[in-house]
Structure 1
Amino acid sequence: MTYTKQTPLSRRHFLAGAAAGTTVLTLHPYSVHAASNQAHLRIMETTDLHVHVYPYDYYSDKPIDTVGLARTAAHIVDIRNEATNSILLDNGDFLQGNPMGDYIAYERGMAEGDMHPVIAAMNAVGFDASTLGNHEFNYGLDFLMKSLAGANFPIVSANVVTERGASPREDKTLLKPYVILDRMVTDGAGAEHSIKIGMIGFVPPQIMNWDRRHLEGNVSTRDILEAARAYVPEMKEAGADIIIALSHSGIGSADETELMENASVPLAQVEGIDAIMTGHSHLVFPSSRYEGFAGVDAEKGTIHGKPAAMGGFWGSHLGVIDLMLENSGGEWKVAASASEARPISKRNEDRSITPLVESQDFVLASVAKDHEETLAYVRRAVGKTSAPLHSYFALVADDPSVQIVSIAQKWYIEEMLKGTEHEGLPVLSAAAPFKAGGRGGPEYYTDVPAGDVAIKNVADLYLYPNTARAVRVTGAQLKDWLERSAGMFNQVEAGKADQVLLNPEFPSYNFDVIDGVSYQIDLSQPSKYGPKGELEAPDANRIVDLSYDGAPVTPDQEFIIATNNYRASGGGDFPGAKGDTIVFEGPDTNRDVIVRYIVEQGTINPSADGNWSFKPLADTSVLFDTGPKAKDYLDDLTTLNIEAAGDGPDGFARFRITL
């Protein structure tokens, strides 16, 4: 499993043209101060690229400065100029994750000999090795293997098994578990030496659940730590001087448990591993995000004393580990290390973005044709909707734009929970309107007419790149979740006309509608919770007639609620969603779930089912403001006694609801 390439690890000849015009940077201190028996090795990492080559948001159909391997490549060029020796690695999740990936998988396909665009871009940049992430399996094994065939670099994975042996070393793995690269390094005196650099890769074992339909019966997974303890000694026996773990696994608990998803902390304790590249979490290391984690030094960038890095996601950062290697008695050892994560952009105090690098033309050119084809793909229909998708009345009635998100989330979570201990529990779905006027103005609404739905329309339905989650709650928590959501409304006095309905301090993205149960909101009651989730009226009961499948919900009844990572982890401070009830953390964004649902259904029926409403109050009316185009959809609101009530402020239209 030795991959021989007797070329120096210094700057690559094919990047000479790309680097032309770039200011040559001062050598890194390790390179400057290396002695005759020392060599500075700079290890670079991308992770969770998710097919983001161009700095472009295909959902909103516009360029952006926060993503793209073409931008990250600028750092790579500079770093190859800063260090005497360098190596570039990818840590997985490169094959899926944006519309370009879906276009290749669902539309163009991969025949034998075809080149996947992200592989073409990685070849152009000059990666030395990679591992698999969990998303590599989303399109099936045949698509995966055809895509990998075009790589000019080895791709390793130690814990995905096609034939299971008595121990990992007797397994037949889908890919090589590890690779040992024969390289030449230049020491501080300018002399060249041979060195064997071992790379071993790991993926979360949870792929067997996340992509069961593709993997069950074809492959199985080993525990990450079990595989590492088997193969790392073998790599040493094979002559590896240093070993780098490509851990597509986050930085989590220091306590080892079986089949850990985020196993990078205990992995660092495996003897023989010299450095760890982490990923999967879409976070940055070193960073203050990991202060206080057991075994982790968030300032030095080490895990159990070993250097580590995590380069964000979508090309947002380049993870960098500097190793000062020292040769003693013919053996290379790590004498010193440093870690960093270089960003490609900076977010300013006013929320604007300043790019820190420019795109590298040679990377853009490698996928230019695929980029243009993807633009055509996102601009054309991938399905149809039988009813308009608008959010003009999303805060006052069951709404089609929220309904389709709920339907797609429920469809996804039900599939993901098959074969788990949670299968069979009622699955509900929580979704909120993101574009509902407010500070966004009278045009800030979702408005997709009946008919064709393009992928870029999904950005109108779901603004944020959240990932899918599921929580397990009781009936009591479910009711309080809805009580928290009902803080959207001001208290109303029965028998009084034209009272203001909406609380302007309550953001629309915290108005969760829960599909799968039916309920009414009694506006005559005070809100139990304040705008930020603070308990204000413990005895208040706005949620009435809460039922599931025609029967009242009991406090001890159990439910699964499909939602997103923001809400499930405590965003908005909702009862039942504080991070301690999560039973499933999906690898997919909610946007991707919606797109997949539309593609699979062909024609979607987002008509709201009217599962929630206001409790009738005699001789009572309320006023609310929405976008002027809402008048076009008034006839659709058969569940509300609603009428136009003139103009609202700042270009909004005003409507009256008789309760």
Structure 2
Amino acid sequence: MSSVFDLHPISRRSLLSGMAAASALVLLHPFSARAAANQAHLRLMETTDIHVNVFPYDYYADKPTDTMGLARTATIIDAIRAEAANSLLIDNGDFLQGNPMGDYMAYQHGMKDGDVHPVIKAMNVLGYDVGTLGNHEFNYGLDYMFKVVGGSNFPYVCANLTKGQLSSDPRQDDLFFKPYVIIERKIKDGTGAESPVRIGFIGFVPPQIMLWDIKNLEGKAQTRDIVEAAKAWVPAMKEEGADIIIALSHSGIDGTTPSERMENASLYLAGVEGIDAIFTGHQHLVFPGPKSWDGIANADPVKGTLAGKPAVMAGFWGSHLGLIDLLLEKDGNSWRITDFTAEARPIYHRDDKKKVVADVADKTAVIEAAKAEHEATLAYVRTPVGKTSAPLYSYFALVADDPSVQVVSQAQTWYIKEMLKDTEHKDLPVLSAAAPFKAGGRGGADYYTDVPIGDIAIKNVADLYLYPNTVQAVVITGQQVKNWLEMSAGMFNHIEAGAKDAALLNADFPSYNFDVIDGVTYEIDLSQPRKFDNDGQAINPEANRIQNLRFEGKPIDPAQKFVVVTNNYRAGGGGKFPEIASDKVVFVAPDTNRDVIVRYIIEEGTINPSADGNWGFKQLPGTTVTFESGPKARQYVAKVKSVRIEDAGEGTEGFAMFRLIL
């Protein structure tokens, strides 16, 4: 692979635009410019969490967007290659599922012999050197995943995914993929002389795939702890002669005490002796970068280091390209790192009015590679399946009972009652748990469901339910229902009575874990602290945020049994909700939650998704709180009857601010 592709001028804005004449003078990175004899600049580039977003197109809103798309990131890749004498490109996983193109390819098109998936076509155009797997690669099953990766022109590595039971020695595990690859390249030093360098890449997937995709993996695969696998395989890479070892970790950054089979283990992975640099992902955040990393020991979000080693997390959906630049120095017959920089370079910015401004244009070759599948996806998502008599929106899904969550619960309840009508559970009362998936947050100020009155197409259903989860049901007690809701109430900060415009939402609590349970009524008392932390551990055992919990108008009986319909992620223990795990599962559906919603809408013809107001906040006289939502939420404020909401001006990063009067 050539180390220099299309040339672009180097002022930051014009560099990123990728649209100037190829003959313009290229300014090299300082490491390339200053490298002496026996010194060389190596640039490593990362994409992560692409989630099939090849095109800069929002299939849910059915319109172009400037905040995503590998076709845009590709233009940065071209420009950034031009700044360096030597470069390699990697992908850090979660490329296969996540938007309607992914579903169209898996469920409508399939993968026939000789087919190449559009995201792989795009990657092949860009000349990736190596990739690893993310948790969403398993959503459509192992056979499908292997067909897809079989079309790549580059290898995949994963050191902690086995075909069967774990061995006593990780190096004896029967792995699905090579644990690592060592790529030998000729590298140019500061004088232009070339010498061989051996760069090792080792990959890791979150062990939790065995919970999240148990339907696809049980009895077929197993996972090992990330750090344990690294400690076994990194010495093998050294034994094989790797000069530099790079970890491809589809795992985020968590500063809490290390634990076995940790989901976000990159900080502790970086501490493994022999690893020189680490690419991370999974959390859909940016590192080095602002906000999220304050207070994590041994993580430097300014310099871009974990345990003192260069590290990057490159956002999601192609929003950024991760860069680790290494200045290498020859030490005998091998190379060592003498300096480094780390950066996550974006494809867009916001102007003074917070409007999104594209920094790059599409790369034509990437667009052409996936054009046919893109057009087929558009036809697929525009197919109507029914009508709605009320607007479906999620702008207030975190602060009030919400129509976008309501319709999911209606469909799940309709489905499970039919499925259980001839079983031993037919006489148990049915509740439904559902969470808002598009609720702003890291997705940005436009990341909300907004479907007007009228036709509902498949794109709208996919918008309501982003993931290809399957329906499952658990049988639990009334007390466990309460604890489920107590866990969900971690979405909110502790609010002192009488507070003025206190921040309502807990930024560290993911919205997809904010389950609303329909079939009961309840209030949330914000004056009490949260009962459980994000790991489901009781941190305030005496706290009772969930008040006035009733079933059929009467206080819920802690011992009464209920069927709760949910998805395979939650029923299998995803989110670490207290006592909710696979041992409570009584029904495993062959259908995805999205398919159930489609069938429900078809059955009904016209749905009425108006929220029934079954939950709300306990009144705290004289208290107000604030929260951010999308600017388009302003048109729906008057429709929210269960709480008092006021416009509170502008928020940050394009959001609008609202006030809730308690």
* TM-score, shorter chain, exceeding 0.5: yes
Superposed, 1:14-33 pairs within 5 Å as: 21-22=21-22, 23-33=24-34
Structure-2 change in CA distance of 1:351 and 1:516 (3 Å): same
Q: 1:598 aligns to what?
A: 597
Distance in 2 separating the partners of 1:473 and 1:362? 52
In the alignment, residue 283 of structure 2 is paired with which amino acid?
Answer: S
Structure-2 change in CA distance of 1:343 and 1:613 (3 Å): closer
Retained in 2: the 8 A contact 1:196–1:242?
Answer: yes
- 1:120: Cα distance to partner? 0.2
Superposed, 1:271-286 pairs within 5 Å as: 271-286=273-288
Q: 2:457 aligns to what?
A: 453
In the alignment, residue 342 of structure 2 is paired with which amino acid?
Answer: S
Distance in 2 separating the partners of 1:301 and 1:342? 13
Q: 2:300 aligns to what?
A: 297
Structure-2 change in CA distance of 1:39 and 1:412 (3 Å): farther
Q: 2:134 aligns to what?
A: 133
Structure-2 change in CA distance of 1:232 and 1:476 (3 Å): closer
In the alignment, residue 132 of structure 1 is paired with which amino acid?
Answer: L
- 1:425: Cα distance to partner? 12
- 1:446: Cα distance to partner? 4.0
Structure-2 change in CA distance of 1:344 and 1:294 (3 Å): same
Q: State the SS of the aligned residue for 2:125.
A: helix
Structure-2 change in CA distance of 1:103 and 1:33 (3 Å): same
Q: 2:3 aligns to what?
A: 10
Superposed, 1:288-437 pairs within 5 Å as: 288=290, 289-381=292-384, 383-384=385-386, 388=389, 390=391, 401-407=404-410, 428-429=433-434
- 1:404: Cα distance to partner? 1.4
Distance in 2 separating the partners of 1:279 and 1:411? 37
String of CA shifts for 1:20-54, please: whole Å, max 9, x gaps. 83444301110111111111000000000011111
Superposed, 1:204-243 pairs within 5 Å as: 204-243=206-245
- Larger mean CA deviation between 38-47 and 22-31 belongs to 22-31
In the alignment, residue 252 of structure 1 is paired with which amino acid?
Answer: D
Q: State the SS of the aligned residue for 1:266.
A: helix
- 1:519: Cα distance to partner? 3.5
Q: 2:195 aligns to what?
A: 193
- Larger mean CA deviation between 424-433 and 594-603 belongs to 424-433
- 1:610: Cα distance to partner? 5.7
Distance in 1 separating the partners of 2:210 and 2:552? 32
Retained in 2: the 8 A contact 1:120–1:366?
Answer: yes
Retained in 2: the 8 A contact 1:285–1:301?
Answer: yes
Distance in 2 separating the partners of 1:92 and 1:401? 29
Distance in 2 separating the partners of 1:278 and 1:514? 32
Structure-2 change in CA distance of 1:226 and 1:626 (3 Å): closer
Distance in 2 separating the partners of 1:19 and 1:432? 36
Task: Normalising by structure 1, report the TM-score.
Answer: 0.69
Distance in 2 separating the partners of 1:344 and 1:480? 34
Retained in 2: the 8 A contact 1:475–1:558?
Answer: no
Retained in 2: the 8 A contact 1:380–1:454?
Answer: yes
Q: Does 1:115 align with 2:116?
A: yes
In the alignment, residue 597 of structure 2 is paired with which amino acid?
Answer: I
Q: 1:38 aligns to what?
A: 39
Retained in 2: the 8 A contact 1:277–1:309?
Answer: yes
- 1:474: Cα distance to partner? 3.8
Q: Which has the larger radius of gyration?
A: 1
In the alignment, residue 174 of structure 2 is paired with which amino acid?
Answer: K
Distance in 2 separating the partners of 1:61 and 1:232? 45
In the alignment, residue 114 of structure 1 is paired with which amino acid?
Answer: D
In the alignment, residue 598 of structure 1 is paired with which amino acid?
Answer: I
Distance in 1 separating the partners of 2:60 and 2:458? 9
- 1:78: Cα distance to partner? 1.0
Retained in 2: the 8 A contact 1:301–1:307?
Answer: yes
Q: State the SS of the aligned residue for 1:172.
A: coil
Q: 2:77 aligns to what?
A: 76
Distance in 1 separating the partners of 2:238 and 2:80? 29
- 1:374: Cα distance to partner? 1.1
String of CA shifts for 1:352-400, please: whole Å, max 9, x gaps. 101111111111111111111111111114x556x645359999x9886
Retained in 2: the 8 A contact 1:325–1:332?
Answer: yes
Retained in 1: the 8 A contact 2:312–2:324?
Answer: yes
String of CA shifts for 1:572-591, please: whole Å, max 9, x gaps. xxxxxxx9978999xxxxxx
Q: State the SS of the aligned residue for 2:407.
A: helix
Distance in 1 separating the partners of 2:594 and 2:438? 17
Q: State the SS of the aligned residue for 1:199.
A: strand
- Larger mean CA deviation between 553-562 and 157-166 belongs to 553-562
Distance in 2 separating the partners of 1:209 and 1:260? 13
5+ residue gaps in structure 1?
1-6, 414-423, 488-504, 522-526, 534-541, 565-578, 586-591, 615-624, 631-639, 641-659
Distance in 2 separating the partners of 1:359 and 1:583? 48
Distance in 1 separating the partners of 2:19 and 2:221? 43
Retained in 2: the 8 A contact 1:345–1:354?
Answer: yes
Structure-2 change in CA distance of 1:78 and 1:110 (3 Å): same
Q: 1:499 aligns to what?
A: none
Q: Does 1:65 align with 2:70?
A: no
Structure-2 change in CA distance of 1:136 and 1:412 (3 Å): farther
String of CA shifts for 1:227-283, please: whole Å, max 9, x gaps. 111111111111111111000000112632100100000101111111100000000
In the alignment, residue 10 of structure 1 is paired with which amino acid?
Answer: S
Distance in 1 separating the partners of 2:299 and 2:401? 47
Task: Normalising by structure 2, report the TM-score.
Answer: 0.69
- 1:302: Cα distance to partner? 0.7
Distance in 2 separating the partners of 1:411 and 1:249? 37
Q: State the SS of the aligned residue for 2:163.
A: strand
Q: 1:570 aligns to what?
A: none
String of CA shifts for 1:496-540, please: whole Å, max 9, x gaps. xxxxxxxxx999x9xx9944333489xxxxx9779xx9xxxxxxx
Counterpart pick for 2:178 among 166, 176, 179: 176
Retained in 2: the 8 A contact 1:307–1:339?
Answer: yes
String of CA shifts for 1:155-201, please: whole Å, max 9, x gaps. 11111101343321111111111111111100011100111111110
Q: 1:86 aligns to what?
A: 87
String of CA shifts for 1:458-480, please: whole Å, max 9, x gaps. 54x5899xxx9x99874697699
Distance in 1 separating the partners of 2:566 and 2:298? 32
Structure-2 change in CA distance of 1:337 and 1:409 (3 Å): farther
- Identity across matched positions, percent: 48
Distance in 2 separating the partners of 1:333 and 1:411? 62
Distance in 2 separating the partners of 1:392 and 1:251? 32
Distance in 2 separating the partners of 1:389 and 1:516? 19
Distance in 2 separating the partners of 1:480 and 1:30? 49
Q: State the SS of the aligned residue for 2:335.
A: strand
Q: State the SS of the aligned residue for 2:146.
A: helix
- 1:75: Cα distance to partner? 1.2
- 1:350: Cα distance to partner? 2.5
